[in-house]
């Protein structure tokens, strides 16, 4: 851990200069207490750094939560082993998953699946209790429950160090979470503008406790966080059904872990009640299970938190980008992507070039940097990769 200033500490051994400056700006906000903590995978974000933990008193920064509210990971360990997959082409499994889960930005289901109906009902009840209509933010939110998205979101079938089969995926609150976030980022900007509040970055605009605007954001934020969690559960159930059909044996779940990495919660730290915003960071209290995926083609990790108080009981959420998508497309080739994905069943298309592992930080270095934040319980290696373009 490096103490950059009294208000900024970092676990990132690789920290680009612009990222460092961005985090410094956020750390100087007067309501940040006691300091911002950068995770090993820190990189540039909108207003606030991706891979940062920002504790605030009586205020929340909507852009620091991010536009994919509640984004996170879910993993399930099954009873299957590598022997159950041996000698089989995994292409039918991949295409089955691609057919069961709508992929890519903006996609939706044709109808609300039967498995999604009770989850939709739960979200409708929560919205009514919250006092808002999610359809006013995104009319297709019901149809998007159980859809993946694009970018670094993925579905994988992996093997652990004992050759046990896991299903693993990464996604968030889809279009409705994005619309909720952008609305309240705009509200915060306008309030700060009207209040003549000078900000180091307009995307650090904030909402203050005991105001209507804060209460409205918090209610919709919590709803979107729950939407993201149920979205992952819905997709995972479909993936497990595909795996069951592929092997012609019902899946028996041995373990399920579902965790956010873009969220805000009120927590107690350093003797104070704080709003802890984790943007690209997971909660890692002592003994708490968590998931840290690598990039496309690399290892992922099932971890247990160490409850490090300096990190506000947090840990990284993945490898973290090293090159922008534009830079990656210019720098790397399809052949390099194919080389990185040797032995993994994946859809070989040009659109995934900006997700090549070399565009990300080395996940092994990230995990080494996180040694005092988490312990590794399982190391996963992919055998099937599914992404949206």
Query: CB-based contacts of 384: which residues, under 8 Å, 6+ apart?
Result: 90, 93, 94, 97, 156, 157, 344, 345, 346
pLDDT tens for 181-201 read 999 999 999 999 999 999 999
**Percent of all residues in the chain with a pLDDT value above 90, rounded to a whole number:** 95
Residue 220 pLDDT: 98
Residue 47 pLDDT: 87
Confidence of residue 321 (pLDDT cuts 50, 70, 90): confident
In angstroms, what CA-CA distances link 114 with 223, 234, 312, 382, 387?
Answer: 21, 10, 40, 30, 24
Given this structure, which CATH class describes domain 2-386?
A: alpha beta
What's the rounded Cα separation, in Å, for the pair 239 and 75?
Answer: 11
317 is catalytic: yes
**286 burial class (0-12, 13-18, 19+ CB within 10 angstroms)?**
exposed
pLDDT tens for 326-344 read 999 999 999 999 999 999 9
Q: Go through 85-99 and write b for each residue having 16 or more CB atoms within 10 A of its CB, e for each that does not.
A: beeeeeeebbebbbe
Work out the mean pLDDT of the chain and round it to a whole number. Answer: 96
Q: What is the DSSP string of 315-363?
A: EE-S--BSS-HHHHHHH--HHHHHHHTTTSB----GGGGGG-GGGB--H
For residue 388, what is the DSSP state?
A: -
Alpha helices for the chain (secondary structure H): 17-27, 62-65, 82-85, 91-100, 117-130, 141-144, 174-194, 212-247, 325-331, 334-340, 363-369
For residue 311, what is the DSSP state?
A: G
pLDDT tens for 86-124 read 999 999 999 999 999 999 889 999 999 999 999 999 999
**CB-based contact 278:308 (threshold 8 Å):** no
Region 25-39: mean pLDDT is: 97
Domains of the chain: which residue ranges? 2-386
Residue 157 pLDDT: 98
Residue 346 pLDDT: 95
Confidence check: pLDDT of 46 > 90: no
Pairing of strands 59-60, 300-305: unpaired
Pick from 22, 19, 38: nearest CA to 316: 38
Region 380-386: mean pLDDT is: 97
Residue 111 pLDDT: 97
- pTM attached to this predicted model: 0.96
Confidence check: pLDDT of 322 > 90: no
Residue 230 pLDDT: 98
Region 54-65: mean pLDDT is: 97
Residue 304 pLDDT: 98
pLDDT tens for 271-312 read 999 999 999 999 999 999 999 999 888 999 999 999 999 999
pLDDT tens for 134-176 read 999 999 999 999 999 998 999 999 999 999 999 999 999 999 9
């Amino acid at each position: 851990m490096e103490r950059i200033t009294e208000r900024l500490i970092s676990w990132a051994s690789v920290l680009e200069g612009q990222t460092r400056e961005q985090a410094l700006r956020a750390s100087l906000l007067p309501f940040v207490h006691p300091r911002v903590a950068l995770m090993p995978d820190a990189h540039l974000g909108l207003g606030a750094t991706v891979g940062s933990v920002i504790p605030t008193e009586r205020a929340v920064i909507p852009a620091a939560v991010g536009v994919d509210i509640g984004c996170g990971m879910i993993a399930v360990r099954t009873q299957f082993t590598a022997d159950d997959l041996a000698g089989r082409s995994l292409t039918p499994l991949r295409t089955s998953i691609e057919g069961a889960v709508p992929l890519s930005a903006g996609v939706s289901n044709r109808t609300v699946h039967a498995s999604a109906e009770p989850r939709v009902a739960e979200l409708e009840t929560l919205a009514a209790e919250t006092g808002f209509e999610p359809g006013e933010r995104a009319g297709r939110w019901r149809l998007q429950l159980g859809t993946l998205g694009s970018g670094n979101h993925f579905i994988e079938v992996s093997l652990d160090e004992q050759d046990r089969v896991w299903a693993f995926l990464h996604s968030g609150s889809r279009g409705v979470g994005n619309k909720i976030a952008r609305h309240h980022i705009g509200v915060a900007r306008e309030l700060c503008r009207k209040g003549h509040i000078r900000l180091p970055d307009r995307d650090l605009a904030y909402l203050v406790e005991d105001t209507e605007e804060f209460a409205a954001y918090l209610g919709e934020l919590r709803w979107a966080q729950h939407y993201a969690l149920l979205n992952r559960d819905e997709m995972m159930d479909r993936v497990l059904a595909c795996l069951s059909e592929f092997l012609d044996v019902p899946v028996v779940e041995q373990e399920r872990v579902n965790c956010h990495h873009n969220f805000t919660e009120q927590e107690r730290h350093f003797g104070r009640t704080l709003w802890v915003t984790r943007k690209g960071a997971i909660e890692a209290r002592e003994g708490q299970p968590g998931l840290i995926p690598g990039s496309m083609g690399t290892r992922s990790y099932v971890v247990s938190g160490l409850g490090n108080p300096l990190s506000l009981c947090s840990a990284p959420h993945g490898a973290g980008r090293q090159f922008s998508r534009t830079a990656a497309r210019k720098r790397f080739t399809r052949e390099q992507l194919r080389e990185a994905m040797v032995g993994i069943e994946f859809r070989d298309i040009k659109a995934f070039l900006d997700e090549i592992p070399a565009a990300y930080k080395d996940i092994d270095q990230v995990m080494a940097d996180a040694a005092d934040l988490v312990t590794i319980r399982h190391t996963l290696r992919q055998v099937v990769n599914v992404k949206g373009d």
